[in-house]
Amino acid sequence: DSHSEKTQSPPPNLIGWGLLWSLLLEHKLRLGFSILALAGATTCTLSMPIFSGRFFEVLIGASPEPLWRLLSKIGVLYALEPIFTVVFVVNMNTVWEKVMSTMRAQIFARVLIQKAEFFDRYKVGELSGLLTSDLGSLKGVVSENISRDRGFRALSEARHSILSETVYKRSTVPVFKAHGMAQASMSDCVTETFSAIRTVRSFGGEKRQMSMFGSQVLAYQKSGIKLGTFKSLNESLTRVAIYISLLTLYCLGGSKVKAGELSVGIVASFIGYTFTLTFAVQGLVNTFGDLRGTFAAVERINSVLSGTEIDESLAYGLEREIQQKVHDENLKLFLFDGLNGKNQYTNMHYMSALKSASNVCSVAWSADVCLEDVHFAYPLRPDVEVLNGLNLMLKHGTVTALVGQSGAGKSTIVQLMARFYEPTRGRITVGGEDVRTFDKSEWARVVSIVNQDPVLFSVSVGENIAYGLPDEKVSKDDIIKAAKAANAHEFIISLPQGYDTLVGERGGLLSGGQRQRVAIARALLKNAPILILDEATSALDAVSERLVQDALNHLMKGRTTLVIAHRLSTVQNAHQIALCSDGRIAELGTHFELLARKGQYASLVGTQRLAFE
Ligand code: ADP
């Protein structure tokens, strides 16, 4: 069995420290440059007291050096120190922001390609904790909260520096705001993606989510770099102001002492005061204030992600897709190492086991789907066999209604067909081929799932309908055509911005019936040969009900359909009814055949569990 091969070589763990390290090494030049600048700045700072010592030596006549030559040396020192510091902080911050962006993207991608049980194990709350608080704490070197920033508190002590304050207010505050907003949309994207992970998967929407996250990470990076630059310029400007006053003191004081108009002691105490200010503003040490938090975050992300299994079939398809998009700025971040052909996520054994999937979609239009001796236990409850030896054939182009008591395993069958999980034994075939031989991003084009409570994304109605399809393949006309067939066009054009109307978080701005019709339009446009419906149990109002039902009938036409049925009319119209019980199909036939059997189905109908209308 070729599938056992995929367990032979687990992908190397390059998500925590290893990733951080290799990302830092990507920026050797800039880092080297920064370190030189830091050395320069430190040398300047350390020489300052020596030069001020020499200044007093000159004043009391203990040194033969001319006063003006010494003062010009001090001037050079004061000019160089802020330049070195700015070069150091700006470069360091830029490197750090870039490294963190790639870290964020890589971690996001790594979570995205986890096997389904990862999402069973970590609930969305925990995940967004991991990905937003922890990921959020992968902060920039200098970009952090104003109030917690010692440099800025010191700055307000040095309020005499009017120039600097104005520059700060005018330039930095908006950048801070933009930075905060960029962070918020980054974490919204994380929450949305992982709370709708099943929908994302079933549409092969991973790349789209990555691209969206990527663009937000880049925006965050950009504002982080800008903020770091502003902060460091601002801080240096403050010091420049202090240096100018110091130098003025040196010049005035020096010449007055030389002329015998002032005592050395008075000059020394004035210079002392000004120095105190310099130290108050010295925020350099604080630049790295947040690194400990970052390291803790890397540690935690490492501990969560290093032990988990990724879905190689999904990763492989995604890797290939991303590679074809090397020019997409938003996806570049995902190309580092993991997805750039070094096979971080996948291995050759697995890839060579995959059949060319390009024709699976066309095959599936005329091939039967078979569940053959399917056994399944959820990975987190391996001792409970939910399905044990289930057999079911879905003839192409027909409707199969799946019925059974709640807990019988109906949704589990759907999840297996969507390949969200894989059977523990047995197989699912299309036209006789095991579905595992097709990679998952292809599979997403073969199966459509329409849930009773469909998840929409917080983009426009039009984009929701086109979700999962490559942009270049979808025209506005196609979207409208699908919406019309799904009885959604009418309500969509009555929305404030028509097809461009944003539907809000999880589609919350639309009614239940409207959401369902958008989801049906989405499935129509995707035009997958296999359709899985989870019929709504909650009743809509009569008009929406009819519109939705109508749209569903349209959608089912010609497709191999499996419907988890709750309505008597659905079962009666189905080509076959499969009654699921104890992890198998206990009864199979048409409505009247099964009624005549007077078995479980008959009693299910008898107890009205199936009759909502
Ligand atoms: P149905 O759709 O027929 O109501 P399900 O397929 O949802 O039934 O559930 C079948 C069995 O699998 C139930 O006992 C349920 O508790 C269990 N189950 C469902 N989902 C999971 C999961 N993610 N992890 C562990 N057990 C699950």
User: Whole-angstrom distance between the N-terminal and C-terminal Cα of the chain?
Assistant: 48
Question: What's residue 390's pLDDT?
Answer: 96
Which residue's CA lies nearest to atom 24 of ligand 1?
A: 378
Asked whether the predicted pLDDT for residue 117 surpasses 60, the reply is yes
Angle, CA 309 vertex, CA 212 and CA 295 arms, to 5°: 65
Atom 12, ligand 1: residue with shortest CA distance: 386
User: Which of 69-83, 129-143, 242-256 is predicted most confidently?
Assistant: 69-83
Pocket test for ligand 1, best of 374, 378, 403 (most atoms within 8 A of CB): 378
pLDDT at residue 260 tops 80: yes
Q: What 3-state DSSP class applies to 585?
A: strand
Reported as a pLDDT band with limits 50, 70 and 90, residue 563 is very high
For 29-160, where are the E strands, in sequence order? Answer: none
Whether 287 shows a pLDDT value over 60: the answer reads: no
Question: Does ligand 1 have an atom closer than 6 angstroms to the CB of 117?
Answer: no
Average pLDDT, the chain: 82
Beta bridge partners of 402: 564, 578
pLDDT at res. 344: 46
Decide whether any atom of ligand 1 lies within 6 Å of the 381 Cβ. Answer: yes
Average pLDDT for 345-359: 51
Whole-number Å distance, alpha carbon 407 to ligand 1 midpoint, is: 6
CB 305 within 8 A of CB 107: yes
* Structure-model confidence comparison of residues 233 and 397, the more confident one: 397
DSSP assignment letter at 98: H
Q: Is 380 in the pocket of ligand 1 (CB under 6 A)?
A: yes
What gap in Å lies between CA 132 and CA 111, rounded to an integer?
A: 13
Tokens of 63: 């040194």
Q: Which pair of tokens denotes residue 468?
A: 């999962």
How does pLDDT run across 204-221, given as a tens digit for each residue? 899 889 999 999 999 989
Does residue 428 have a pLDDT over 70?
yes
**ipTM of the complex in this document:** 0.98
d(CA 523, CA 531): 8
For ligand 1, the distance from its centroid to the CA atom of residue 552, given in whole angstroms, is 26
In this model, does residue 132 exceed pLDDT 80? no
CA 429, distance to chain mean position in Å, is 33
Instruction: Decide if pLDDT at 417 tops 60.
Output: yes
* Ligand 1 centroid to residue 409 C-alpha, Å: 6
The Cα–Cα gap between 325 and 334 comes to: 11
Q: Is 407 in the pocket of ligand 1 (CB under 6 A)?
A: yes
Report whether pLDDT(227) > 70.
yes
Q: Is the pLDDT confidence value at 148 over 80? A: no
Name the residue type at position 322. Answer: I
Helix/strand/coil for 537: coil
Query: Around Cβ 294, how many Cβ atoms within 10 Å?
Result: 20
Residue 184 has pLDDT above 90, yes or no: no
**Cβ contact 280:152 at 8 Å:** no
